[in-house]
Structure 1
Amino acid sequence: MNDRAAAESYLRHLAIERGLARNTTAAYRRDLERYLGWLDGSGPGSLAAVREADVAAFSRWMSGEAGLAPSSVARILSAVRGLHRFLVEEGELDDDAARGIRPPKPPSRLPKAIPIEDVQRLLAATDGDEPERVRDKALLELLYATGARVSEAVALNVDDLIDGEVVRLLGKGGKQRIVPVGSYARRAIDAYLVRARPVFSARGKATPALFLGVRGARLSRQSAWWVIQDAAERAGLAAHVSPHTLRHSFATHLLAGGADVRVVQELLGHASVATTQIYTMVTVDTLRDMYTAAHPRAR
């Protein structure tokens, strides 16, 4: 069986036996055509002659000369590994040359926080006496004070505020955590509970939800997203601000202020401290920039 026929046999296997969608199978075909083309032009010339070093060279070529993103390299290598594994199982190849090849790790994406001054501008943009403004301020103050995910914030019930000092958040996997609430957030929430929530509650059915929409039902994630977008636009913030921006800013500002990474891990509800440590990269980058700008012999 020639290489093209072998690839077509694998693609039929994906479409018929594994039930992959037509578009997915077409993407596999494009990826395998790239691989077979490289084998003809730069590699050993045939699948039967491929060794692990050849697949590794193909991976380096994609990352280097071809200029593909790590995600694209990983996707193509997945197709290549599947092809080799299939041909070994079918008895067409004696050895799976792609078995030991792993895709490149994608670069760590640093979380995007905004400066404290921008957080202050964002929160100030919710000032106002209208019930919606009072609610919006309470929501944003709580997000920044606790590092809560927006899904955790809108899922809060009034009873999750414990003595006005801490809040009980329900995170991923149903894991609960208790997070302190700062004085600014406490005042904003108290004002909302007294002046705004009763207005919304009177428009709908009784609900234990803390944050309510204008019709009296629990505030949705999408509505919370729009609250933040509206505040960001009124604050004139150039950077894209999302619900997660306040969570990132919460963590970054705590670490920059000297908080221990394991404390921040607990506050964020991360299962592993390794997830939290990415924020330390942000603070190190900030220190490096300040050093470079200020030290006479740093540049």
Structure 2
Amino acid sequence: MTFGSPSPFSAVAIATAPAPVRPRKLHRGHFAFMRALVQGVDTRVSWNQYLRIDGEHDDTRTVRKTIAWLRDEFAAAARRWHRHGAARLVLVDLATVTDAGAEMPRLDDYIADRGLEDFSQAEQLAAYEAEYGNATQRKSRRARLLARQLETLRWLEELVAEPPRADDEVAAWLHPDLAERLGRAGIRTLGALIARINGLGSVWYRDLAGIGATKAARMVDWLRAHEATIGESVGSHALVRKGSLSAARLQAVVPRATGIVPLDKLIVPAALSGSDGLYRLPQQLCLMAASNDHEAILAWIRAKRGPASPSRSSTVDASMAAGLAGVGTLSHTQRAYLKEAERFLLWAIVQRQKPLSSMTLEDCSAYRDFLIDPQPAALWCGARARARWSPMWRPFEGPLSASAQRRAIAILKSLYRFLTDQCYLRGNPFAAVSLPRGSQGMDVGRSFTEAQWTFIRAELEALPDHSAHRRLKFALSLLYGTGLRISEAVAARVADLRWKTYGDANEGKVEVWELSVVGKGGKERYVPVSPAIVAELQSYLVSRGFPAEFGGVPARAHLLGRATDMADRAAWSPAARAPLDPLAGIGKATLHDQLKVFFTTCAGKLQASDPTGAARLAKASAHWMRHTHGSHAVAAGMDIKVVQQNLGHASLATTTRYTTSEARRRATETAKLWDAQLPARAKSSGR
């Protein structure tokens, strides 16, 4: 722009817009932008280069307020150093000082226009000065102001400009709106912001209210521009969509180390490997080839059996292959056991600085107490479901519940019992560790009442008709009618469902559908499936494109399949662009999340009429369906042993808890009835 043209950022334009109060620091980009502004450089170019973190240049109001704030900050800094003239100078908008250059013709043009060619040079200059002398002075004055402003800006920059540092508050550098939104999510410093970006990748902003892709991109660009002084950098993996990253690239995000890292990243010092553990038996007496504690853990994991899940999360991916070579596809049991072994090994190496094979009773008791409250929390605990490739991964989410503590200790007892039986160790230090106190066994209270189940069914029928909802309807019927674990449900295929006939003409034939299920410990059982559920399955399979005749459905088809209309409902999703395999199943996490969202939605609709019931529904998960099946089956009069066999409980005592729960429910409901009746009777009898 020319100096003579009106400026949209002039002092007049911003006089009525007071500068915002911001606890922000000044960096060299602020001064570079203002130097460009006073010299007349295109404002859009300089804004996008230095200050785009504050917003887009098209947002004229933001640009004006930012310029006003900068001038005020520069003036305040000059006054702090008692340079009041400099303070007044930086507040001057040169766009308001007329540029006479456009009004003054060149001397040669002036001479030709006025016909002064025959006059002497002195006469020509005198005439020119007489006509344009004031404009010349104005031009000279403006040039002097520009030079003085630039010199003042250079002086102030050396005096007050600061480089961003990792431990600086985000409010010191980012727009107040951004800083406030980050603060609500617990992101207080630039280092914490970079840690989140690196930990979650390109979608780091998705659960931050008021921060979308554009604002997130501005922040990332600004952080990368200042990474030299911040001392931390945004990783290249966080600049692209995670789906386009190879396993090797994700594996490289967190380097292998001796610290709180996943088992496949853990570098165990030779002295802590267990090769010479205090309680190791001689290798020639050992019944397995493991020569150190890590190899012994993997041998224990391989020895565990269970149904493998079709979900991607259950497969040892390339990022774990190096650390868990030879384990292959993990069952749900193996994953649970591996998680507890990983936690204990990390604690032994990092916190106790001892190998697993040197742990004593006192060490194991200390670990039991550690589970109550893992400290220091910043080192051991993180948010739920952080990926193993992420720097934000931690082995714990926080203190373990009493039931989780008992499960962890029971699994570690199993580990050491295995190591002792295989003559790897002399004994089991966990054998004498008592289980944490608390109610024993499963919480059968985590089930729906008959009324709640009726409400859920009504909400289910009201859902819009698309493939994910059709799957949800059948899944709930299947889980309610069979009591399957969620892992068993997603693993079930058409080949597992068979029509069986029992008995003969003399004793009476019984025909029934049965589902073959491989449960915990690799144990197979057969669960009766009602004709109504099979009819629902046939209808659901037809909606997935299979023949109406049940016998024409491929045996490999999963009972619960992937959504078939993703391209229509969510074309933006990577899943919509992936080729659809009609035979493929879904992962445990997919079904769990869909059920969780549905139950939460139901809770919201129930809140007004039944707050207590809504609170229970909000806590519900997929496993509630298994407890609901058991409780409702017992209440309907089903033989307790039949319920035990259908659920696959190893002990009848486990199933008997449903009987106790039902008896308690009957007693409670009866007491409510008579508590309501007795006062009325007493009143009518005149007592």
> What TM-score do the two structures reach when normalised by structure 2?
0.29
1:165 equivalent in alignment to 2:542 = no
Distance in 1, matches of 2:648 and 2:637, equals 19
Do the aligned partners of 2:364 and 2:433 also contact (CA within 8 Å) in 1? no
Aligned to 1:263: 642
Aligned counterparts of 1:230 and 1:265: Cα–Cα separation in 2? 30
CA distance in 2, matches of 1:286, 1:187: 33
- Contact 1:158–1:209 under 8 Å retained in 2: yes
- Structure 2 residue 604 is the aligned partner of structure 1 residue 276: no
Aligned residue identity for 1:228 = L
Does the CA-based 8 Å contact 1:251-1:279 persist in structure 2?
Answer: yes
1:209 aligns with 2:555: no
| 1:238 partner SS | helix
The DSSP-based 3-state class of the residue aligned with 2:615 is: coil
Which deviates the most, 270-279 or 128-137? 128-137
Query: 1:150 corresponds to which residue?
Result: 486
Tell which has more relative contact order, 1 or 2 (C-alpha 8 A, sep 6+). Answer: 1
* 1:262/1:24 CA distance change after superposition, 3 Å: farther
1:255 and 1:298, CA in 2 relative to 1: closer, same or farther beyond 3 A? farther
CA distance 1:289–1:225, change in 2 (3 Å): same
Match among 111, 114, 117 for residue 448 of structure 2:
114
Give the letter for the 1:243 counterpart. A
Aligned equivalents of 1:100 and 1:159: distance in 2? 46
Amino acid in structure 2 at the alignment position of 1:125: E
Cα offsets for 1:142-169 (capped at 9, x unmatched): 0110000011011111122223833222
User: Is the contact between residue 494 and residue 556 of structure 2 (CA under 8 Å) also seen in structure 1?
Assistant: no
For residue 515 of structure 2, give the secondary structure of its aligned residue in structure 1: strand
The change in CA–CA distance for 1:231 and 1:100 in structure 2 (over 3 A counts) is: closer
1:242 aligns with 2:621: yes
Closer, same or farther: CA 220–193 of 1 in aligned 2, 3 Å: same
CA contact (8 A) 2:495 2:556 kept: no
Deviations 1:145-203 (A, max 9, x none): 0000011011111122223833222212222222222344223212101113549xxxx
Q: 1:242: Cα distance to partner?
A: 1.2
In structure 2, the CA distance between the partners of 1:255 and 1:22, relative to structure 1 (3 Å rule), is same
Flag the 1:189–1:238 CA change in 2: closer, same or farther, 3 A.
farther
Is residue 132 from structure 1 mapped to residue 468 from structure 2 by the alignment? Answer: yes
User: Which whole-Å CA distance do the structure 2 matches of 1:123 and 1:274 have between them?
Assistant: 31
Distance of aligned partners of 1:174 and 1:31 in 2 relative to their CA distance in 1, 3 Å threshold = closer
Distance in 1 of aligned mates of 2:636 and 2:624: 18
Question: Residue 169 of structure 1 contacts residue 177 of structure 1 at CA under 8 Å; is this kept in 2?
Answer: yes
Paired position in structure 1 for 2:206 = none
Higher Rg: 2
SS at match of 2:460: coil
TM-superposed CA distance for 1:233, in Å, is 2.6
- Structure 1 outlier segments of 4+, above 6 Å: none
Matched residues in 2 for 1:141 and 1:162: separation? 18
Higher mean C-alpha displacement, 100-109 vs 158-167 = 100-109
Q: What amino acid is aligned across from residue 586 of structure 2 in structure 1?
A: L
Q: 1:178 aligns to what SS in structure 2?
A: strand
AA in 2 matched with 1:213: R
Label 1:264 to 1:190 Cα distance change in 2 as closer, same or farther (>3 A). Answer: same
Could you tell me whether the CA contact under 8 Å between 1:197 and 1:212 is conserved in 2?
A: no
Q: Tell me if structure 2 keeps the 8 A contact 1:132–1:196.
A: no
1:21 counterpart SS class: helix
Partner SS state of residue 527, structure 2: strand
Deviations for 1:238-257, whole angstroms, at most 9, x for unmatched residues? Answer: 32121110000000111112
- Counterparts of residues 1-299 of structure 1 (less than 5 Å): 17=277, 20-23=348-351, 28=363, 31=366, 105-108=437-440, 109-111=442-444, 112-127=446-461, 128-163=464-499, 165-196=513-544, 198=546, 207-214=556-563, 215-216=580-581, 217-236=584-603, 237-239=614-616, 240-295=619-674
Q: Distance in 2 between matches of 1:147 and 1:179?
A: 9
Residue 260 (structure 1) shift: 1.7
The RMSD of aligned alpha carbons is: 4.0
